[in-house]
């Protein structure tokens, strides 16, 4: 992303309150990595580890070090650093950049930005914003929901009933993130975030009804803007004679932007309450995340029974009232 985009994007990180001090000619310079570099040694002549595409931070230590140098040495140090292929320089703590840094940044065409935040806080906000903008992205056809705090993406062929299933789940108290078009991006390793394009946010298309506004119909608590994708449910049309998963012993995964996300293939047939099944799948996934895998626990009990070992009752599984 360009430095100009960072400067103008007031929504992703409004706390940064960035202002441009110099170097407007270089606003089209590109930031290619979300990792910030704070290489104070570069000002002392050791600039071998300055990396292109990464924002350079000048905090209090760098500013005070430059002020301690003789003017000739200061100008030489600044020119050496600013001639490297860096996208921009960010001065933190609201510090005075000084005339020499301002003039040399303008001469080199390197944008000089300033934020009132302290250095660690500014780095955290800027890194978070860049991770979102620079993250790998993709678009999936499906419906993304927040079910009991779990991000569940329902996919399947067109017309199979994804939106109707989602509408039933929303009526049960769960929350809609996106319908039909789900934008996903990988924020960090192993974390895929799903969101909805702003144009269609809060809306669903239901065959026979048309487009509806979920937030207007069910209230503001029925939607949210984004959610981590933690489970994918694929709706398949029921085919006579096809073998379907009966026990759930083997884990199946869906590759999304290089991240393996648990996948459940759910056959759809007349008479099956798909919404209830998807909700149960979400509940079961929450249990699995806590180490409770019902299918494997039952298989282990059966194996012990076949080997002649005594099988203890499940905790709290014996109800004295069952004997009456």
Catalytic residue among 52, 79, 137, 141: 141
By CB atoms closer than 10 A (0-12, 13-18, 19+), residue 319 is exposed
Is 246 catalytic? The answer is yes
- Reduced to 3 states (helix: H, G, I; strand: E, B; else coil), residue 203 is strand
Placement of tokens 């008479």 in the chain: 271
CB distance 275 to 233 below 8 Å: no
Is 52 catalytic? The answer is no
* Residue 129: both structure tokens together: 């914003």
- Reduced to 3 states (helix: H, G, I; strand: E, B; else coil), residue 323 is helix
Alpha helices by DSSP H, listed for the chain, are 3-8, 60-68, 71-82, 99-108, 119-134, 162-171, 214-218, 274-289, 294-306
Catalytic residue among 47, 100, 180, 236: 180
The dihedral over CA atoms of 170, 173, 175, 176, expressed in degrees to the nearest 10, equals: 10
Is 133 catalytic? The answer is no
CA–CA distance, 230 with 208 (Å, rounded to integer): 31
Is 180 catalytic? The answer is yes
Which residues, in sequence order, are bridge partners of residue 179?
143
Catalytic residue among 38, 54, 162, 175: 162
Catalytic residue among 71, 207, 242, 246: 246
Please choose, from the candidates 168, 163, 170, the residue with its C-alpha nearest in 3D space to the C-alpha of residue 211. 163
**Residues classed as catalytic:** 141, 162, 180, 246
């Amino acid at each position: 992303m360009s430095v100009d985009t960072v400067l103008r994007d007031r929504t992703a990180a409004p706390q940064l309150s960035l202002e441009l001090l110099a170097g407007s000619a270089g606003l089209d310079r590109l930031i290619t990595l979300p990792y910030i570099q704070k290489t104070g040694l570069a000002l002392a002549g050791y600039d071998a580890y300055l990396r292109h595409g990464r924002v350079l931070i000048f905090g209090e230590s760098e500013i005070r070090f430059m002020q301690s140098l003789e003017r000739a040495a200061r100008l030489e140090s600044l020119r050496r650093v600013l001639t490297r292929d860096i996208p921009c320089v960010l001065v933190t703590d609201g510090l005075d950049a000084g005339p020499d840094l301002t003039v040399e940044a303008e001469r080199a065409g390197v944008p000089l930005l300033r934020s009132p935040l302290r250095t660690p806080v500014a780095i955290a906000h800027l890194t978070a914003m860049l991770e979102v903008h620079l993250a790998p992205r993709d678009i999936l056809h499906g419906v993304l929901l927040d079910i009991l705090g779990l991000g569940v993406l329902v996919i399947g062929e067109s017309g199979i009933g994804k939106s109707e299933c989602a509408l039933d789940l929303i009526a049960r108290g769960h929350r809609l993130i996106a319908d039909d078009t789900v934008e996903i991006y990988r924020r960090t390793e192993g974390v895929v975030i799903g969101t909805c394009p702003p144009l269609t946010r809060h809306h669903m298309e239901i065959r026979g009804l048309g487009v509806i506004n979920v937030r207007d119909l069910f209230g503001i608590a029925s939607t949210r803007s984004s959610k981590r994708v933690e489970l994918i449910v694929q709706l398949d049309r029921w085919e006579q004679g096809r073998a379907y998963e009966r026990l759930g012993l083997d884990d199946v995964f869906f590759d999304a932007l290089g991240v393996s996300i648990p996948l459940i293939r759910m056959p759809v047939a007349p008479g099956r309450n798909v919404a209830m099944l998807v909700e149960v799948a979400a509940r079961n996934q929450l249990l699995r995340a806590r180490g409770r895998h019902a299918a494997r626990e039952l298989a282990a009990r059966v194996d012990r029974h076949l080997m002649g070992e005594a099988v203890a009752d499940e905790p709290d599984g014996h109800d004295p009232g069952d004997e009456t």
